[in-house]
Amino acid sequence: MRNISEDTITQAVLAAMSGCSNDRLRTVMTSLVQHLHSFAREVRLTESEWLYAINFLTEVGHITDDKRQEFILLSDTLGLSMLTTTQNNRKPAECTEATVLGPFFVEGAPEYRNGDDISNGAAGQPCFVTGQIRGLHGEPVPNATLEVWQSDEEGNYDVQYPEPQQAEDAHRGRGRLRTLPDGRFHFRSILAEAYPIPHDGPVGKMLDALGRHPWRPAHLHFWINAAGYEPLITHVFRNGDQYLDSDAVFGVRSTLVADWIEHPPGIAPDGTRMDTPFYTLDYDFVLNPVGHTR
């Protein structure tokens, strides 16, 4: 492998991987090397630009921890997350569309019963959420697990705040519940608000340099799992939000936009007397059976 030139280095790298016994790894790395080298040739990448990219990725790594995932933010804002999600979640048009997981999902959210308040003290206007989970052929899906999470009215998720003093305060605006025998669910939370993704780090600097904003339209996250059906990770977006057509992570789909309806003070859907205005959201999800193709 001596005297390798800019014209022969790509094949030399590929030849060096010929002993790889993992077929999928070899396929992925072969394509990666080919595309990276083609990119460098196409833009005539300079040494200073290469070093800048290395330092940028190093900064992304340094700011990433168990509370903040800058690499997911980078993938999201470059459209890679949504591209990967879309090509891996092809399903019949009648099914609810998938969208990005995002960097703020956490394991171990508390269990709630239908009707409970999952906000757990998160700041925001009251909102009552109802819906039903059905299969592709209209059948209700009982005992499905819903993971739900959202930001507060300040645009922050619970994990973006300092560690709480009490364990019961650790999870706010997130929880897990199960559908009823008729596939329905209902819970109380807070109104979804638009918010900027964290932009005080390298991804924020990149967006600024590209003339892009960091805002996401108001939304509520859902991760739904049910026996016999494909998992669904998605959002429900608030209709009328100014960022629906410029989502920083390219996750909006028209079928996922719904109305949050404002109500004056009065009796809420769960029978609670509300002294302040409140909102309601009703949205149904349709799951794709395991093994069903388009």
Residue 164 pLDDT greater than 70, yes or no: no
Phi, psi of 126 (to 5 degrees): -60, 145
Range with the lowest mean pLDDT among 120-124, 177-181, 285-289? 120-124
CA angle, residues 265, 266, 267, in degrees to nearest 5: 140
Record the tokens describing residue 279, joined without a space: 């909102």
Strand 215-216, strand 195-196: pairing? antiparallel
Tallying the residues shown for the chain, one arrives at: 294
- Unique residue bearing structure tokens 């700011």: 63
Return the amino acid letter for 160: Q
Residue appearing with tokens 């014209």: 7
Among candidates 203, 193, 94, which has minimal Cα distance to 150?
193
- 1-16 residue pLDDT tens: 688 999 999 999 999 9
Domain positions in the chain: 1-45, 71-287
Residues 205-249: tens digit of each pLDDT: 999 999 999 999 999 999 999 999 999 999 999 999 999 999 999
The whole-number pLDDT of residue 271 equals 92
Of 259, 184, 186, whose CA–CA distance to 218 is shortest?
Answer: 259
pLDDT, averaged across the chain: 94
Average pLDDT over residues 121-135: 96
CA atoms within 13 A on the CB side of 237: 26
What's the pLDDT at 291? Answer: 80
Binning pLDDT at 50, 70 and 90, where does residue 66 land?
confident
Amino acid at 215: W
Over range 155-168, report the average pLDDT. Answer: 74
Q: Can you spell out the DSSP letters for 35-100?
A: HHHHHHHHHT--HHHHHHHHHHHHHHHHH--SS--HHHHHHHHTTHHHHHHHHT----TTSPPP--
Structural contact between residues 109 and 176, judged by C-beta atoms closer than 8 angstroms: yes
Which residues, including other chains, have CB under 8 Å from residue 92's CB and lie 6 or more apart?
136, 288, 292, 294
| 187 strand-pairing partners | 129
Q: Which stretches of the chain are assigned E, i.e. beta strand?
A: 126-135, 145-149, 174-178, 184-190, 195-196, 215-216, 219-225, 232-238, 257-258, 261-263, 266-267, 273-274, 278-282, 285-287
- The DSSP 8-state label assigned to residue 284 in this structure reads -
Q: Report the percentage of the chain scoring pLDDT > 90.
A: 89
| pLDDT digit string, tens, across residues 98-119 | 999 988 898 889 999 999 999 9
Could you confirm whether domain 71-287 is CATH 2.60.130.10?
A: yes
